[in-house]
């Protein structure tokens, strides 16, 4: 009985930033659970490669190229994915970028890029998806990918823009959850710690950074994308039917002290 709660048969899901890393594993997890899947990314080459990789695992996914920094682009993506899938029950907002730099000399254009991609783009996708779910009157589940950087200020790297964007993701999650709970739409988030992805590879290859990151993680290792995808599957499924507005931290214990 309980295993069935994690099944997503008959449901349709879109994963933004789904061409690699956490996003790709989320698409795989949702597809394996029975959902029809679409992914989006900026790179057509990476997106098509991801679709081919999923197909090799028996998951039929559709790729949509999208830059989600504007409301119009987000609305276009959500509507296109829903049209292709027949409906949209699940949205996983994973698209994001990280930029490091000293705060006093931080480039305003880079600040806007980070906020537009990580926070504003996520909100525009939520806005469009929720509008569609309400119009179809079938409820839905949204899972946003936040970060431990929404709770703490990372060291030794300086990343004020990224931290601010992820703190915003957490509050957008809580705000939307409260606004639409009575309409059958659940909105939750995961807050990963340091995960083995292309985004973190540069930091892990830096001996100074890696020493601090692993030294401050009680489990003494970085996480795997699949460990985040499993939590996203849980939040998207009926196994989490009484959860909304939650930020699920998955960080090997990094934030426990």
Catalytic residue IDs: 162
In 3D, which of 206, 210, 170, 208 has the Cα closest to residue 194? 210
Range 35-38 contact pairs with CB under 8 angstroms and sequence separation of 24 or more: 35/8, 35/9, 35/11, 35/89, 35/90, 36/11, 36/12, 36/60, 36/85, 36/86, 37/12, 37/13, 37/61, 37/62, 38/12, 38/13, 38/14, 38/62, 38/63, 38/64, 38/81, 38/84, 38/85
Determine phi and psi for 184, rounding to 5 degrees.
85, 15
Gap between the Cα atoms of 251 and 150, Å rounded: 13
How many Cα atoms within 13 Å fall on the side-chain side of residue 43? 11
67 neighbors 39 (Cβ within 8 angstroms):
no
Are 8 and 209 in contact, with CB atoms under 8 Å apart? Answer: no
From the number of C-beta atoms within 10 Å of its C-beta (0-12, 13-18, 19+), residue 76 rates as middle
């Amino acid at each position: 009985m309980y295993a069935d709660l994690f099944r997503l048969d008959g449901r349709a899901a879109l994963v933004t930033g789904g061409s690699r890393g956490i996003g790709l594993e989320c698409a795989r997890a949702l597809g394996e659970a029975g959902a029809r899947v679409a992914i989006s990314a900026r790179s057509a080459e990476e997106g098509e490669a991801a679709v081919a990789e999923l197909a090799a695992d028996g998951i039929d996914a559709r790729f949509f190229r999208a830059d989600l920094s504007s409301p119009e682009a987000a609305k276009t993506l959500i509507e296109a994915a829903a049209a292709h899938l027949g409906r949209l029950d699940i949205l996983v907002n994973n698209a994001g970028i990280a930029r490091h730099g000293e705060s006093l000399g931080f480039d305003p254009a880079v600040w806007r890029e980070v906020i537009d991609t990580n926070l504003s783009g996520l909100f525009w996708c939520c806005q469009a998806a929720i509008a569609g779910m309400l119009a179809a009157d079938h409820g839905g589940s949204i899972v946003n990918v936040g970060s431990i950087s929404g709770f703490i200020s990372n060291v030794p790297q300086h990343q004020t823009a990224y931290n601010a964007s992820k703190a915003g993701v957490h509050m957008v999650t809580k705000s939307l959850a409260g606004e639409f709970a009575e309409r059958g739409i659940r909105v939750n988030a995961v807050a990963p710690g340091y995960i083995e992805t292309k985004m973190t590879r540069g930091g892990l290859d830096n001996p100074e950074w890696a020493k601090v990151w692993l030294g401050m993680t009680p489990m003494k290792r970085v996480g795997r994308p699949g460990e985040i995808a499993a939590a996203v599957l849980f939040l998207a499924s009926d196994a989490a039917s009484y959860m909304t507005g939650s930020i699920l931290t998955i960080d090997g214990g990094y934030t426990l002290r």
